[in-house]
Amino acid sequence: MDLQTIWYILIAVLFIGYFFLEGFDFGVGILMPFVSRDDLDRRVVINTIGPFWDANEVWLITAGGAMFAAFPHWYATMFSGFYLALLLILVGLIVRAVGLEFRAKVDDARWRRMADAGIFWGSLIPALIWGVGITNLVRGVPIGPDKNFQGNLFDLLNPFALLGGLVAIIMFALHGAVFLSLRTTGELHARVHSLARSLWLPGAVVMLLFAIWGRFETDLFAGFGIVPGTLPMIAAAAFIAAYVFMRLKNDGWAFVATSFTIVTATIVAFQGLYPRVMPSSLDHKFDLTIYNASSSQLTLTVMLVVALLFVPIVLAYQGWTYWVFRKRIGRESIGGTNAH
């Protein structure tokens, strides 16, 4: 296995971690207006992700940095071609962060409503754009012989990509609902659990439609495992298992199942691209690959040493954080305090 392949896998792992962890953050933010009956409920919902959401975003920062250093041509083409889309993601994450961090700083109902709107839209819009962006990556975008993106934002907003955005929203919302079921108590837990089950069928429908359409728009379902389509079938099985565990009211295993669905779906995308990083819809000879987009061997070697030293430390710290804040949260946990 060459260094380019190793770094492609490492970047894929970073995005897998990001979508798995930030996925339930997005879902919680999207669902907060629908599962909360009063301000105390909203504070409980925010508290479920309070210790985690900012650390979860670090996975994206690290993935972007790794792309910049390991595959600069990939980074340059994607960040220039997807500039407006990525800017909207950044604005959404900033607005959500402001809502989460400053909601309780001002004792004013109108301010809290503005913060809640920021949390909702700052979760919904990035989720939508990530789905649109990843779908466009695997479908192919207009890249010319100079490795430059030759399209515009409207090229990215094609019907298939918009369906991918809807899949991302529903999948993250379901993931967030299961996470809330795992983290809450009382009536809020009952409402969230019911909502999670009601989200499953719409999710199944849009995912099935996306898979059928994807057979004509992409080559994602070719050559996985022993028979073509193995990984997508595993993702589908995990999604079905999530519903079974929700019916059994086994929140822990339901969360494992939705997590496995997101992880496997992300692997499908990255494995379907390999060894490409950005296919060209104009001509496949213009595809960006891990070889024509990579840095020098020395750069990749030095980066690998640094990653092997520090990534385990980061993983251990984040795992310890989740262990410390593992208990369920209810209205009685918030009381009359001003905490998030």
Closest C-alpha among 140, 199, 212, 139 to residue 169: 199
Q: Is residue 339 part of a domain?
A: no
For residue range 287-319, list pLDDT tens digits in order.
999 999 999 999 999 999 988 888 888 889 888
| pLDDT classification of 221: cutoffs 50, 70, 90 | low
The pLDDT tens digits for 54-72 are 889 989 999 999 999 999 9
- The radius of gyration computed from the CA coordinates of the chain, to the nearest angstrom, equals 20
pLDDT digits (tens, 9 = 90+) for 269-280: 998 888 999 999
Nearest-angstrom CA–CA distance, 272 and 279: 11
Token pair listed for 297: 């061997």
Mean pLDDT of the chain: 90
- Whether 140 is covered by a domain: the verdict is yes
Residue-number span of the structural domain to which 233 is assigned: 3-328
206 falls within a domain: yes
Residue 337 included in any domain: no
- Whether the predicted pLDDT of 9 surpasses 50: yes
Please tell me the total count of domains within the chain: 1
Residue 303 lies in a domain: yes
Contact 66, 10 (CB under 8 A): yes
pLDDT (0 to 100) of residue 229: 65
- pLDDT at res. 228: 55
Comparing CA positions, the residue from 256, 263, 224, 238 lying closest to residue 12 is: 263
Copy the structure tokens of residue 136: 């466009």
Domain assignment of residue 336, yes or no: no
Taking the C-alpha atoms of residue 220 and residue 235, their distance in angstroms, rounded to an integer, is 13
User: Is the residue at 307 inside a domain?
Assistant: yes
Is pLDDT at 203 greater than 90 in this prediction?
A: yes
> pLDDT tens digit string along 145-177?
888 888 877 888 899 999 999 999 999 999 999
Structure tokens belonging to residue 260 = 């496995």
Q: What are 141's strand-pairing partners?
A: 280
Give domain status of residue 334, yes or no.
no
Give this prediction's pTM: 0.90
Q: How many CB atoms lie within 10 A of CB 141?
A: 23
